[in-house]
Amino acid sequence: MIHTRAEQLEAFGRFLDVLDELRQKCPWDRKQTNESLRPNTIEETYELCDALIRDNNAEICKELGDVLLHVAFYAKIGDEKGAFDIKDVCDRLCEKLIYRHPHVFGNEKAETAGEVVQNWEQLKLHEKGGNKSVLSGVPAALPSLIKAYRIQDKARNVGFDWEQREQVWDKVKEEIGEFQAEVAGMDKEKAEAEFGDVLFSLINAARLYKINPDNALEHTNQKFIRRFNYLEAHTIKEGKSLHDMTLQEMDVLWNEAKKFEAL
């Protein structure tokens, strides 16, 4: 359903009124702090990501509401401290969006999405007097796989990248070889370091071929779960236990699951 801007603003205002009342009258809401909310915020963000992966619009709508609640709740706490409120949050966001989109709100030109991203990163470097380093905008708390992708992408935006994307495969092969050598030498610490290099190089390859490695891995996770659940369900149906089955018997059911997915 499409709503008018007036209806959207009315709904947002109602939401803020509800939050104000909860903060005043609900014992749980009254006791919340930035620190107590933070773990829940992380959980809600992952639940939204799960809904996005499943492309479930009803769930996306629901989870967006939960994330919005946390955004407004932090702003409410900021208001109570006299630090900032939801207006300040919105104003700063608008100012940032306008500043970082000079091709829309100014006289700059950007014909492609890639040019927009490159301009965005350059503008970020010039903020705060230009004292930010290229990689300073990568949150330390990001999951390692996503962090690696963002590190590489930010380096790319200042020209630190392969001249030809095909060149990355030599690096991937080199890192795999070094990992195999350390595994053969039974040096766990060095093997772990080399395995990290393997992953980093594969993430680099994915980036160069415009594949989001986090999405790709999660799709594979979900595929494995579906197939393993099929294997487990049919094993139980036959009155057996996975512990009692041979690997060959499991492979038969696993291949059945693959065939059903292909239909």
Answer with the residue of higher pLDDT: 131 or 165. Answer: 165
30, pLDDT greater than 80: yes
129, pLDDT greater than 60: no
261, pLDDT greater than 60: yes
Q: Worst-scoring range by mean pLDDT, 67-76, 216-225, 235-244?
A: 235-244
pLDDT tens digits, one per residue of 62-98: 999 999 999 999 999 999 999 999 999 999 999 999 9
217, pLDDT greater than 70: yes
SS3 letters across the chain: CCCCHHHHHHHHHHHHHHHHHHHHHCHHHHHCCHHHHHHHHHHHHHHHHHHHHHCCHHHHHHHHHHHHHHHHHHHHHHHHHCCCCHHHHHHHHHHHHHHCCHHHHCCCCCCCHHHHHHHHHHHHHHHHHHCCCCCCCCCCCCCHHHHHHHHHHHHHCCCCCCCCHHHHHHHHHHHHHHHHHHHHCCCHHHHHHHHHHHHHHHHHHHHHCCCCHHHHHHHHHHHHHHHHHHHHHHHHHCCCCHHHCCHHHHHHHHHHHHHHHHC
Superfamily of domain 144-211: MazG-like (1.10.287.1080)
131, pLDDT greater than 80: no
The answer to pTM > 0.85 is no
Residue 240: what are its φ and ψ, rounded to 5°?
-115, 175
- Arithmetic mean of pLDDT over the chain: 90
CATH number 1.10.287.1080 given to 5-85: yes
119, pLDDT greater than 80: no
pLDDT tens digits, one per residue of 151-205: 998 888 788 898 999 999 999 999 999 999 999 988 899 999 999 999 999 999 9
Specify the pLDDT at position 93.
96
Contact 161, 155 (CB under 8 A): yes
Answer with the residue of higher pLDDT: 132 or 77. Answer: 77
How far is residue 173 CA from its own chain's centroid? 27
Task: Report CA dihedral (53, 56, 61, 63) to the nearest 10 degrees.
Answer: -50
How far is residue 221 CA from its own chain's centroid? 15
Q: Worst-scoring range by mean pLDDT, 10-19, 117-126, 211-220, 242-251?
A: 117-126
Residue 211: which pLDDT band, with cuts at 50, 70 and 90? very high
Contact 198, 179 (CB under 8 A): yes
pLDDT-above-90 percentage for the chain: 61
